[in-house]
Structure 1
Amino acid sequence: MKSAPPSSSQPDMKLFWACFIALVATSFVFGVRANTIGELQSSFNLSESQKGDINGAGMWPFALSIIFFSFIIDRIGYKTVALFAIVCHVVSLVLTLRASGFKDFYWSTLLVAVANGTVESFINPVVATLFNKNKSKWLNILHAGWPAGLALGALFCALLPDTKLFFGAVWQFRFALCFIPVVLYALLILPRTFPVNERVAAGVSYRDMLKEVGAVGFFIIGSLVYFAVMQMAGHQASLMSSLIVGTVIAVLAGLYTGSLGNWLFLVVLITIGPLATTELGTDGWMPDLLKLSGPNFPHFETWIFVYVSTIMTVLRFYAGPIVHRFSPIGLLVIGAMIAITGLLMLSHSIGWAILGASTVYALGKTFLWSTTLGLTSEQFPKGGALTLNGVSAVGVLFLGVLGSPYIGYKQDMDMDKRLNVTEHTALYTLVQGQPKEGIFGTVPTLDQTKIQSLLEDEKKTLEAVQAESKRSVFTSIAVLPTFMLICYIGLFIYFRSKGGYKPVEIGAH
C-alpha cells in the first residue's frame, strides 16, 4: 500500500471526493450525537457533566490518533491509515448500537473519535499535496464536508424523530444510519492511489519537519496529550503533573531539533483551542442549548443546527474568491469579529430571533477552522503532515480535555446557583441529584428521573430556569473568539509590515 510517486498530471479529483465523503462520514456521526444527546440523557440519567464527558470523549481521542499518525503516515502510507479508519468506524458504530449505559456509550464514542481523527490525519495532507498551489481554497472546499455531514445527520434526526424500525430505541436507529456514509467512503477509498506528501517529495528531512513545531510546540502538545491519556485511563491529571510531562517532552524535542519552534506556528497553536471550542464545542451543544429557548415549532433546535451547517457548507464551497479578496489572515480577523457578535446575540435571543442570531454566528465561524488549516499548510510546508495535523490535534485536544467538559460544568454550576435561591428552594429539593465527579471536580446535578415526575407547573418553572441558564453559556464562549481576534489582529499587522500575506515555497529559505 505504498503511496504513488508525484505526478505532473491534473489532481486526482476522485481521490479528492473520496476524502470529502470521508469527512462527511465523521461529522455525520457528530451531528447525530449532538441531536440525540438529550434523549441519551433521559435514557441513561446523565448529568450535564456526564454529557460533557461524552462530548469530550468524542473529541480528544480524535486528536491522539491525528498526532500518532502524523509521525508515521509518510512511512506506512496514506492508504494503510485510511483502511484503519474504516475498520474503527465500523467497530465503533456496532459498539454504539449495543451500548446500555454511560460507560458503554462513553467508550464507543471514544472509538468513533479515534476513527474520525484517523480520517483527518490523511485527508488534510492529501488535499494539500494534490493542490499545492492553491491550498487555502481547496482545504476550505474539503472542509465543506464537515458542515455537510452535520446538516445531513441533524436532518435525519429531524425527519425521522420517532422511528424505531427493528431497534429498541430511537437513538439506536439514528446511529445505525451512520453506516451509510461510512460504507460509501470505504467504497470510494479502496480503489484510489495516494500521492507522496510534498515535504517528502521535496526532500525535507524528518528533523526539519520537527523543527517547525520545536520545543515550545511539543510542550503544548505534550501537556494536552498527557491530560487526555490520563482521562482515558480514568485518572484526573493535575496541572502540575501535566506541566512537568510537557516540560520533559519539550526538553527532549529541543535537544533533538535545536529549535524552539516557528513562532508563527506557535501563535496558530495557542489560538486553535479557543477556535475549536467556538466552532465544534458550540456545534456539539447548540441543539441542547437552544431547545428550551426556541419558538413552539417541532424540532426547532435541530432545524437551526441544519440551517447553520448548510450556510457553512455553501460558503466553504465558494471560499476561493473570498480568500483571494481578504487573504487567509484577513478572513480570520473578520470571521472572529462576526463570531463574537453572533454568540452574544444567541445569548440574548428567544423565539424566532434565534434564527437571525444563528445566521450571524454561522457567517462568523464558517471560515475559521478551514482557513487556519489553509494558513498552516501555506506558511509551514516543511512541517508536512505534522504541522497541518498538529494544529487540528491541539484544537480538538483542548476542546475534548477542557472546552466541552467546561461547558457542561458551567451549566451544572449555573443551574445549581439559579435554583438554590429562596423562590426555587422547594423545586430544587424535588430535582436535586447526587453530586458527580468531573474533570473540574465534584459538581451538583439534577436527577433526570425526578424531573420526569414533576407536576406540569413545576416542569414549566424548571424549563424557564434551564432556558436562561443555557443561553448564558453563549456569553461565556464569546470570550474565546475575543482572544482569537486579538491574536489575529497582531498577525495581520505583522504580515502588513512584511508587504502582505504570501504563501511560503517549500524550497525557499
Structure 2
Amino acid sequence: MTCFIALVATSFGFISRAFMLADWGKAFGLSETQQGEIFGAGLWPFAISMVLFSLIIDRVGYKKAMWFALLCHLVSVAMTVTAKGYQSLYWAAFVGALGNGTIEAVINPVIASVYRHAKTKWLNILHAGWPMGLMLGGAITLGIEDWDWKIKVCLILLPVVVYGFMLVTCHFPVSERVAAKVSYKDMLKELGGVGIFIPLVLILEELGRVLIQPGNSLFADGWAFNFDNKPFTIILLISLAISIAYGLYVKSAGKPMYILMLIVMLPLATTELGTDGWIKELMTPAMEQLGAQSGWLLVYTSAIMVTLRFCVGPIMRITRLQPLGLLSVACVLVITGIAWLSQINVSEYTQSTGIIVLTAAFIYGAGQCFFWPTTLGFVAERFPKGGALTLNTIAGVGMLGVGILGGPWLGYIQNTTISDQLQQREPSLYEKISGEPTQSMFGSYTPIDNAKYDALLIAEPADADVIQSQVTKAQTVGKSQALFKVNVLPLIMLLTFIGLILYFKSKGGYKPVELEIQSDTPSDAPDESLPDS
C-alpha cells in the first residue's frame, strides 16, 4: 500500500504542477518556452534518475531510498511556494522529479519481489496509482481553479504526508535478485553491452539537449537527434565506447529478447503517451457537447485506466491470457480505437458525435492502459536476474524515447499531412502561407508559416473568415490522417508480440523464470526482510 500511495503522490504532484504552469506564467511573467522548460524539468530527471538509481538501489535499501524521495518531495514543495521566478521554479521541479524517479526505482522491484508468483497482475494494480493520482489531482485542481496558486501547491503535500506516515512502520523486502544470491555482475549481464547502448544514447542525448547550449565551439551546430549533427555523432561514439567496455566487463552482449523489448518500448511509449494530446484534442468538443469542461477529459481517461488495471487479475484469469496475449489484445483495441477516432468527422459535432468519440476513446484507453505495466510484468517474469536494473531501464527508455524520438516523429507526420492537405485543397493559399523547407531526423517537410498566415489575414480582411475556414479544415483532416498513420506503431508491436507467442509455443509454452530464494539473508543485503518463498 505504501508503494501505491507513493505512486499516487508522484502523479498527483506531476499533474498539479502541469495545471499551474499558466498561473506561474502570469505571476512571474514567464514565456511559453520557460513554462515548457519547467514542465520538462519535471520529466527528464524522472526518467534518468529511475535508471541510474537502479544501479545502487539494492545496496542502499528500499526504505532509505523512499525517505530520500520523501525529502525531495517536501523540499520541492517548499522551493515552489517560496519561488521568486523561473530559476527557482525550474529547480523545484527538478528536485521533485528526482523524488519521482527514486520512487519508481523502488516500487517496481519491490512489487516484483513481494508478489513474485503474480508479477504482471500486481504491477498492473500498482500502476493504477499513476492514473489515480492524475484523476484526484486533476479533479481537485479543477475544483479550486480560482484559488491562489500557493495553496494549490501545498495540496501536493496531501498524498506525500500520507505515504510519509506509512513509511514509519513499513517493512520492505530484500529484492528477489539479492535474496536468490544473484550477483551484481550477473544482474549487469542481463542488460549486456548491446542492451546498455540504447538507454545510454537516450540519456546522454537528453542531458546534452538540456545542459549544452548552442554557441559552444564544440556544439556550435546546436543540439538535435540527427545523424548529420556533430553533437549527436559525439554522443554515439561515447555511447559505443562505454557499451563496448561494459560488454567486455560483464562478458555479455545482453539477452536478445530483453534488447528486443527495449526497442519495442519506443513505439509502445509513443503510442501510450505521445498520442494522448491528439486524442484529448479530438475529445474536447465532445465533452463540450456533453456540457463538461475539457479538463474533465483527464478524469474520464484516468478513471478508465484505474478501473481496468485494478481488474487485470480477473481479466487474465477468465481469458487465460499470459502477458504477451494481454499485450496483443491491447494492441488490437488500440488499433481499433485510433482507426475509429481518425475517421470521425470532428468538424461537424452533434450530441451523438460526442458520444461516439467518447466510446471510441474508451476502446483506445481500454487497450492503452495495459501497455506499460504489462510490459514491466513480462520483463519481471522473464528476466528476474536483472532485478531493478532491467525493470527500471525499460521504463526509463520508454519515458526518454517518447520525448526524444516519439514526439518529433508525431510532429513530423502531423506537419506533413496538414501541409499536404492544404496543398491539395487550396494550392494558391498554400503557396502564400507555406514556410521554408525544414529538415528533421525523419525527413524534410514544409510547414505552414504562422507569420505569413497572420500577415495574410491582416492584408485580406474581407476574405479572412474564408481563409481561416480553409486552413482549419486542412488542419482538422490532416490531424485525423496523421492519427491514422500512428497505427503503424501498435501494428509493429502486435506483430512482435505474436512472434514472441509463437516462439514460446515452439518451446512448450510461456513460463515465467523463477529464482530460488535462499533461506538466509545475503551478507550484502540491507536491513530488510526476505520475500515470501
TM bracket (short chain): 0.7 to 0.9
Within a 5 Å distance, the mapping from 1:209-224 to structure 2 comes to: 209-224=187-202
Is residue 484 of structure 1 aligned with residue 518 of structure 2? no
Contact 1:34 1:285 in 2 (8 A): no
The residue aligned with 2:32 is 46
Residues 178-217 of structure 1 show CA distances to partners (whole Å, capped at 9, x for unaligned) of 2322222222223322211111111110111111111110
Amino acid at match of 1:403: G
* 1:472, distance to aligned residue in structure 2 (A): 4.9
Aligned pair in 2 of structure 1 residues 422, 190: CA closer, same or farther (>3 Å)? farther
Give the counterpart letter for 1:282 in structure 2. Answer: T
* 3-state DSSP of counterpart to 1:366: helix
**Structure 1 residue 227 and structure 2 residue 230: aligned?**
no
Whichever residue aligns with residue 381 of structure 1, its letter is P
Pick the structure with greater CA Rg.
2
For the pair 1:203 / 2:181, whether they are aligned, the reply is yes
Query: Aligned partners of 2:70 and 2:507: how far apart in 1?
Result: 44
Question: 2:429 aligned with 1:388, yes or no?
Answer: no
Aligned twin of 1:347: 342
1:264 aligns with 2:257: yes
**Map of 1:10-159 to 2, 5 A cutoff?**
17-32=1-16, 44-46=30-32, 56-96=40-80, 108-159=92-143
Unaligned ranges ≥5, structure 2 = 214-222, 347-352, 518-533
User: TM-score under structure 1 normalisation?
Assistant: 0.81
Would the alpha carbon gap of residues 39 and 474 (structure 1) be closer, same or farther in structure 2, given more than 3 Å must change? farther
Q: 91-100 or 488-497, which moves further after superposition?
A: 91-100
1:419 deviates by 7.4
Residue 218 of structure 1, CA deviation: 0.7
CA distance change for structure 1 residues 478 and 51 in 2, over 3 Å: closer, same or farther?
Answer: farther
Residue 336 (str. 1) matches residue 318 (str. 2)? no
Structure 1 stretch 404-413 or stretch 371-380: which is displaced more? 404-413
- The alignment covers a number of residue pairs equal to 478
Distance 1:148 1:295, change over 3 A: same
Q: Determine the C-alpha separation between the residues in 1 that align with 2:18 and 2:123.
A: 25
Which region of structure 1 is more displaced relative to structure 2, 79-88 or 399-408? 399-408
Counterparts of 2:285 and 2:440, CA distance in 1: 25
1:344-400 Cα deviation digits (max 9, x unpaired): 323333351220111111111121111111111111111111111111111111123
Inter-CA distance 321–105: structure 2 relative to 1 (3 Å threshold): same
Any stretches of 5+ residues in structure 1 without a counterpart?
A: 1-16
Change (3 A) 1:279 1:491: same
Is the contact between residue 312 and residue 366 of structure 1 (CA under 8 Å) also seen in structure 2? yes
Please say if residues 288 and 294 of structure 2, whose CA atoms lie closer than 8 Å, have aligned partners that are also in contact. Answer: no
Distance 1:157 1:371 in 2: 30
Give the C-alpha shift of residue 70 in structure 1: 0.5
| 1:224–1:242 contact (8 Å) kept in structure 2 | no
Q: CA offsets, 1:410-454, max 9 Å, x none?
A: 65676677779667679969xx9x99999999987758xx89x99
Question: How far does residue 89 in structure 1 lie from its aligned partner after superposition?
Answer: 2.2
Q: 1:185 to 1:330 in 2, by over 3 A?
A: same
Contact 1:57/1:106, CA 8 A, preserved across alignment: yes
The structure-2 alpha-carbon separation of the partners of 1:408 and 1:114, relative to structure 1 and needing over 3 Å to count, comes to farther
Letter in structure 2 aligned against 1:368: F
1:249-296 deviation digits (Å, cap 9, x = unpaired): 211111111111111111111111221222233346654564357544
**What does 1:234-383 align with in structure 2 at a 5 Å threshold?**
234-235=212-213, 236=223, 238=229, 239-283=232-276, 286-288=279-281, 290-291=283-284, 295-324=288-317, 325-349=320-344, 350=346, 351-352=353-354, 353-383=356-386
Q: 1:249 to 1:127 in 2, by over 3 A?
A: same
| Native 8 Å contact 1:274 1:484 kept in 2 | yes
On the 8 A contact 2:417/2:482 being kept in 1, the answer is: no
Name the aligned partner's letter for residue 338 of structure 1: L
Change (3 A) 1:423 1:157: farther
Cα displacement (A) at 1:67:
1.3
TM-score (norm 2): 0.78
Q: Which moved more, 1:261-270 or 1:290-299?
A: 290-299
Tell me if the contact between 1:211 and 1:258 (Cα under 8 Å) persists in the aligned partners.
yes
C-alpha spacing 1:208/1:491, structure 2 compared with 1 (3 Å):
same
Q: Distance in 1 between matches of 2:16 and 2:437?
A: 28
